[in-house]
Chain A
Amino acid sequence: MPGTPGNLNLIEMALTNERIQQQLTEKFGDIVFGFEESYGLLSFEAAKENNLKVLQFLNDDAELGFRFLTDLCAVNYPDQAGRELAVVYHLHNLAENVRLRFKVFTDIQAPDVFTASKLFSSANWMERETYDFFGVNFVGHPNLKRILNVDEMDYFPMRKEFPLEDQTRVDKDDEMFGRG
């Protein structure tokens, strides 16, 4: 009802980025870190061992209610030793209409991250895609195999170690391409 104190209270309790950060640090302390806001979107990190704990809390908490997994993908940072691969979750609280970005980093030598597919059915294929292109091994995934690339492929093509062909190369036989 407009004008009542209850309503005012609701406005104060709106799910702002500060409020989310406060809730998360209250619950997890140092486990969650690296909070930043870019273009209005709250982003934070956790160690990869804790990804499910954080996702589950974001999902279950009555106030936070991030129950919609918008997107899941990986990013390769070849220069960050020990943190070469990032798995990025974009979550959405549809009722409050707030989004956030959650990242876990992993060593490229042991790219094991727990699967979120038990929590979100939508994560199933998105994790397969992430495995297919970056080689992130989602531990506990029901069917972790390649999805867009051919099964016989033995490398992970979206990693930065596979650059695209240099467009100025001259060693190609143009005649083979009808341009001779």
Chain B
Amino acid sequence: MTEHHQHIKLPEGSIEKQTTTLNVGPTHPATHGVFQNIMELDGERIVSTESTVGYIHRAFEKIAERRPLYQITPLTDRLNYCSSPINNMGWHLTCEKLLNVKTPKRVDYLRVIIMELARIADHLICNSIVGVDAGAYTGFLYVMQYRELIYEIYEEVCGSRLTTNIGRIGGFERNFSNTAFTKLEKFLKEYPSVLKEFENLFTRNRIFMDRTMGTGAISAERAMNYGFTGPNLRAAGVDYDVRVHAPYSSYEDFDFSIPVGKTGDNYDRFLVRNEEMWQSLGIIQQAYQKIQAFKGEEAEVYHANVPEYYLPEKEDVYTKMEALIWHFKIIMGEVDMPKGEVYHSVEGANGELGFYLISDGGRAPFRLHFRRPCFIYYQAYPELVTGGMLSDAIVTMSSLNLIAGEMDA
């Protein structure tokens, strides 16, 4: 270090240290999850940082090796718990790929509605938390009402709110109720003005812009090398979106655009997420129109006809022979799955969520690996924040949308 640090006379034998070590986490209000950063600070500037993860590792991949497919869905809930329906759907789609199940169009559209609602809920949390960490609490409190409304829609569809376990292999466990659609209409009607107001709070806010522009930036090339996906990659200028590159659940039927940023900094990440919420809203509207266009029997379809894997309705189990047999077979684990290896991915709210499933023909996977987007891109965090201010590092952390549950599996 330079000379001027030397004027303090330290006692003989003491170890002189020019930097301060600061533990951010594992439980710290700024980490929004259980993970640790050990930072070396020179004043308020970060000299180096080391990340530690794994505090809530729950061995999902191991547990999955003992479970039939439908019992793995609740495990996927607990990955990115801010948008668990997307994880659930991703898992069902993986199973359907392995089992060669074709879902009816109405099921696809219902799934799209749920997945896009989940994306909005997730982006809403992420963007408003970026606001909180930059010192603007209002937006966060304001938009919570609408996340609540989204959760109420989940509740109508599947009965739970956070860890949803929504849907089944082949479709949904029950049809959407009228209340679900009424709430969806309410959401579609009221949310645009809320999002507009939320946007007005931040997008051209001088303080917010000064805090986020140019901080936590990454180039497109580095982002790709670090395995960035989702909004974080798109903010750096790469237009990769699984919904477009490998459409699943009939995303090819929808008209939407993929917003991209340029600088890959916190501000661009915020803008990309914000625009994605508008796009999601458009997708939900289109999907709802398509669903309303179904007539007659088609308008009641909510699952594919796959009795081998889809649990029959309870009423049928008590009254119909066939249903009773299938119920018994599924519950007792007598339905084996075909041998094979599949990789399937969906556009999770924070990136490409992939499932690598190897089946040896038994009732449980031989091996299941989750490609968890934030586990992969969180490695870039030291590179993003080194040389910057501690307070910017906090905003960078929240704008990366890190979810401890997903990171630690």
Contacts and interface: CB of A to CB of B under 8 A. Distances in A.
Decide whether A and B are members of one complex. Answer: yes
A39 B340 contact: yes
Contacts of B59: 157
Contacts of A68: 224, 227
Contacts of B65: 164
Contacts of B53: 147-148
Contact of A73 (B66, B227, B356, B378): B356
Contact of A88 (B62, B97, B224, B356): B356
A94 interface: yes
A99 B343 contact: yes
Given A67-B224, A94-B240, A125-B376, A149 B54 contact: yes
Contacts of B54: 146-149
Contact of A149 (B57, B343, B379): B57
Contacts, number: 88
Chain B CB within 10 Å, residue with most, of A71, A101, A149, A157: A71
B356 A90 contact: yes
B343 A122 contact: no
B225 A121 contact: yes
A149 to B, nearest CB: 7
A75 interface: yes
Interface residues of A, number: 34
Interface in A70-121: 70-71, 73, 75-76, 88, 90, 94, 97, 99, 101, 120-121
A71 B354 contact: yes
B408 interface: yes
Nearest to B61: A158
A38 interface: yes
Contacts of A133: 61
Interface in B162-200: none
Contacts of B378: 125
A124 interface: yes
A58 interface: no
B245 interface: yes
A157 to B, nearest CB: 6
B341 A38 contact: yes
6 contacts: A39-B343, A68-B224, A94-B238, A147-B53, A148-B54, A148-B408
Interface of A: 38-39, 41, 43, 67-71, 73, 75-76, 88, 90, 94, 97, 99, 101, 120-122, 124-126, 129, 133, 146-149, 157-158, 164, 167
Please give me the 6 A-B residue pairs with the lowest Cβ-Cβ distance, nearest first.
A122-B227, A148-B54, A148-B57, A73-B369, A71-B371, A164-B66
Interface of B: 53-54, 57, 59, 61-63, 65-66, 97-98, 222, 224-227, 238, 240, 245-246, 340-343, 345, 352, 354, 356, 358, 366-367, 369, 371, 375-380, 408-409
Given A94-B245, A122-B379, 5 more contacts: A70-B371, A71-B354, A71-B369, A71-B371, A147-B54
